Chain A
Amino acid sequence: MLDLNSMAENKHNTLLDAIVQRPLVGDGAMGTQLHAAGLELGGCGEHWNVTHPDRVLAIQRGYVEAGADCLITQTFGASSINLTRYGLADSVEAINRAGVEIARRAFGNRPGYVLGGMGPFGGLLKPLGTVTAEEARAAFGQQAAVLVAAGVDGIIIETQTSLEELGLAIEAAHEAGAPCIVGSVAFDITRNGLDARTMMGVSPEKAAEFLQASGAHVAATNCGTGIDIEWMEKILTRYRKACNLPLMAKPNAGNPVLEGGRWVYKQSPQEMAAGLEKLLDAGARIVGACCGSTAAHIELFRAIVDRRIARQTYSR
């Protein structure tokens, strides 16, 4: 039996130790990059881990070369519930294992942390939807077990909007023995434009309290509708008041706009730079980017974080 913790420590400090010492740079978008690399609309991106590993590797290597300390495996929708929609329920193990291998290969000889990515199962839990808690727990459990066995440094449960689903996934990650668990919630701007809540009505405070109470190690936020990097700073500030976990943020590159018949995320790395400083001020210990971001964004994030580390302005 492999001792994953000691393996990680031999290589470098564990992820949790590292974020206490310095802020880490995460990776950029995957979905929008896969489409740019030729993934057809409606295609299963996660299947590319097996069918086109070179293309996934090229995206992740771009982030490593830009200076990312952490990569999230390309396994967002690789639970059995999601993969069943593509007739790929039998490929959970192969796709998740390949996802971890590709991320490790992307780092090559460089030090880096691989976070196993787990997204929502893509439906609603009973009684609102058709999936039972047991079914969701089993699907998350299977995925988490494969990711941990393949040697991830942690698991990130991303783009969550329901605390119940988030809780099931955290539980599954714990049971699988994940050395670090990041819980990441996606908020939307409310109709009056004054508040941020998930589609299920969860406030940043509730999310942060829940993450701490459920035993997550890092409280994160990613993606969201109408949420730009400035909004993420507000969310992190509210997280900070409601819990004392290390924080992480992955903002989109602005909100998508229609341009020449195509949807594009237009916020440039420079436009996100000021916001990034504020995210770090608000306590973010891992900063990456979500939809529409590219290696160029991560490269600038790296430079900003490095300047910070050089100034040693960190109190934590």
Chain B
Amino acid sequence: MDDKSKQLCQQIADMQEEDAVKLAREMLDSGYNPVKLLGHCREAMELVGKRYAEGEYFLPELMLAGEMLKTIGDMAKPLITQDTSGGKSAGTVVLGTVQGDLHDIGKNIVTFMLEINGFKVIDLGIDVPIANFIESIKEHKPQVVGLSGFLTLAFDAMKSTVEAIKEAGLRDNIRIMIGGGQVDETIRNYTGADAFGLNAMEAVSLCKQWIPA
């Protein structure tokens, strides 16, 4: 990686928003390959994710880094020509907070992080009836379904939603991840989901793992 790219990575990872956006602008103006530049941004994001997982960063840093990525992405995308972009999304994820639970902070962060990582996210909102998940899966044919819930009581709704997806004959083609509250392997097993995530970065990792580029 050249010096400027290294500097950009560092600035994003260190939350120097103004400097990072300015440097990205300069690099793009001087003809730097926009696809390569976005690649560096993703590398920086991985560093941010690592610091988050290690307890050095918290929600504000995660979201600020996401904002930077979005701003730089908006600058770079118009410069990407058809033949270099590929242009397709990394995959489709249907996401929602299960019926009976109105917590939306965690779900919104997962939506945001998936989107900046190139996934198409169908966000069904909060307190989502089981039928809405089924309809959306039929319509959008996602590879992954994410069920969010914060209340301990929401785990029952997750279980019912997974069962309904199975009954509708849609289970075989999708992977289901859960998250939001204090989830673990016991809860995953209880709900019948394929995996659980403790934070938005883990949701992104799961989707990347399940939907190979």
Contacts and interface: CB of A to CB of B under 8 A. Distances in A.
A200 B126 CA distance: 22
A200 B58 contact: yes
Interface residues of A, number: 28
Interface stretch (B21-29, B81-89, B100-108, B133-141): B100-108
B61 to A, nearest CB: 7
A190 B54 CA distance: 8
Contact of A263 (B57, B155, B157): B155
B154 interface: yes
Contacts of B58: 197-201
B127 A42 contact: yes
B187 interface: yes
Contacts of B182: 225-226, 255-256
Nearest to A32: B152
A261 B103 contact: no
Interface string A120-139: 00111001110000000000
Interface in B28-76: 53-55, 57-61, 63-64, 67
Contacts, number: 69
B59 A199 contact: yes
Tell me the dominant secondary structure on chain A's binding face: loop
Interface residues of B, number: 33
A258 B54 contact: no
Interface string A230-269: 0000000000000000000000000110100101000000
A258 B186 contact: yes
Nearest to B106: A199
Contact of B55 (A128, A129, A197): A197
B99 interface: yes
A122 B102 contact: yes
A263 B152 contact: yes
Interface string A219-235: 00000011000000000
Interface of A: 35, 40-42, 85, 122-124, 127-129, 190-192, 194-195, 197-201, 225-226, 255-256, 258, 261, 263
Given A42-B99, A42-B127, 7 more contacts: A85-B102, A122-B102, A199-B59, A200-B58, A200-B59, A201-B57, A225-B182
